[in-house]
Amino acid sequence: MLDALGYTLALVANRRLILSTSFSVLFILSFLEAKTAYEKGQALYLSKVCYSCHGHKLEGMNTFPRLANRAKGYMAYKLKRFRSKKADSQAQEMMITYSVGLSDEDIENLTTYMYEYIDVASSESYDYSVENYGDGGS
């Protein structure tokens, strides 16, 4: 199937379409190949476009809350409430649209990703080999 898709894409003259479709195919394949709950949750977070409000690093943006390293049980409770079309405030009502189609497994994977989130870029930001004494001048 992928060979036929690649052949079809090769026939398309517009490079943007080829790149866009190739990216979509790779994204879908990466979602299917996810193995751990963390990886599945990450793929679901990206596919549901949660990052558009909550940020790529789950840091929260503007009035949207931070999701990184929050209590897993609380996050599961909130997602299940949203899925059952219940919200505590008008601002939270927009989450209902994104949560309605989630299964219990999806919620488990998403909350695992949120609870165990590690920012890979900043996880190695401190160099322990740097000495913090001597030759500081004074």
pLDDT averaged per 10 residues, the chain (length 138): 47 43 52 80 94 93 93 96 95 94 96 92 58 61
The pLDDT of residue 102: 96
pLDDT, residue 119, reads 85
Residue ranges covered by each domain of the chain: 1-33, 35-119
CATH number assigned to the domain with residue range 35-119, chosen from the 4 options 3.20.20.140, 1.10.10.60, 1.10.760.10, 1.20.1600.10: 1.10.760.10
pLDDT of residue 120: 77
| C-alpha distance from residue 74 to each of 35, 83, 96, 127, 131 (Å) | 24, 14, 16, 35, 42
Residue 32 is predicted with a pLDDT of 59
Q: In this predicted structure, what is the pLDDT of residue 124?
A: 53
CA–CA separation, 48 and 122 (whole Å): 24
**Nearest CA-CA partner of 10 in 1, 18, 19, 2:** 18
